[in-house]
Amino acid sequence: MADLSANETLRYSRQTMLENIGTEGQKKLKAASVLLVGLGGLGSPAALYLAAAGVGRLGLVDFDRVDLSNLHRQVLHTTERVGRPKTQSAFETLRAINPHVELVRHDVALSAVNALDTIRSYDAVLDGADNFGTRYLVNDACVLLDKPDISGSVFQFEGQASVFWARRGPCYRCLHPDPPPPGVMPSCAEAGVLGVLPGVVGLWQATETIKLIVGIGDPLIGRLLLYDALSMRMRSVTLRKDPACAICGRDSSASLGMTPLLECVTQM
């Protein structure tokens, strides 16, 4: 692992003084790479804090452009950047926060065609997608590539997060075997969302990512953390691996050494 420069040593000094992190933990962060899928409500706060924490390489996946209606929750972006690609806006914000972090733009909609190649070169994936199709796509690719999927979602006043890593626990399909029919679950554009809510959940995701990289604490593998902002209550639900899971179960095509069809080809 590469040593820290004098500038980095000072920049991360309040973090490296933590016994569970230290200089060696900071070097692990510098050597790590994380792919952020979606630069919206969840990806924005997660990207800000992962860059500030010193994760060495961040991949930025989004095909969308900044819209005025994004700005109450998507804190990577600013009013003057409305109409510009989100990856470009994110790049500028994150570069200003920490010039030591390598930023890689992926101006694409993740699909069955490009998911494996896009994810392959990263250590972990932080899923900030706002639709079910992309969540299933990320999950399936992570199972095939043996990558942790740090997942989060929000709806109106409620949020949830978990870490899906088939090698160590359940995957997303163990919890939700199949996507809901189109139109059953409204999007944020249709149902609305409290602006600060994605910030809470996105920071959970960033925290879990740092814990996984450094190898500290008790990650949310096999647990689903639920949050109700109206009552300000949180609870944790235990998740079990499904032996019959189509992607990570004993008889799945992945466990048998075959590459299953990544069938969810939708935009974020």
Q: Which CATH class is domain 10-238?
A: alpha beta
Amino acid identity of residue 31, one-letter, is: A
Share of the chain above pLDDT 70, in %: 91
Q: What are phi and psi of 193, to 5 degrees?
A: -155, 140
Q: Cβ contacts of residue 20 below 8 Å, gap of 6+?
A: 214, 216, 217
pLDDT surpassing 70 at residue 87: yes
Q: Of how many residues is the chain composed?
A: 268
For the whole model, what pTM was predicted?
0.93
The domain ranges of the chain are 10-238
Residue 150 burial (CB count, 10 A):
30
pLDDT surpassing 70 at residue 254: no
Q: How far apart are CA 194 and CA 4, in angstroms?
A: 39
* pLDDT tens digits for range 97-153: 999 999 999 999 999 999 999 999 999 999 999 899 999 999 999 999 999 999 999
pLDDT band at 255 (very low <50, low <70, confident <90, very high): low
C-alpha neighbours within 13 Å on the C-beta side of residue 9: 6
The alpha-helical segments, DSSP class H, found in the chain are 6-11, 13-16, 22-31, 43-53, 86-97, 115-120, 132-145, 172-175, 188-191, 197-214
* pLDDT tens digits for range 40-59: 999 999 999 999 999 999 99
What mean pLDDT value characterizes the chain? 92
* pLDDT tens digits for range 167-211: 999 999 999 998 887 766 776 777 899 999 999 999 999 999 999
Q: How far apart are CA 152 and CA 36, in angstroms?
A: 12
Nearest to 164 by CA among 222, 249, 225: 222
Q: What are phi and psi of 173, to 5 degrees?
A: -70, -20
Nearest to 30 by CA among 8, 63, 59: 8
**Across the beta sheet with 57-61, what order do the strands follow?**
102-106, 57-61, 33-37, 124-127, 149-155, 158-164, 223-228, 233-238
pLDDT band at 263 (very low <50, low <70, confident <90, very high): low
Nearest to 59 by CA among 45, 79, 76, 39: 39
How far from the centroid of its chain's Cα atoms is residue 132's Cα?
Answer: 14
pLDDT surpassing 50 at residue 265: no
pLDDT at 163: 98
pLDDT surpassing 70 at residue 261: no
pLDDT surpassing 80 at residue 268: no
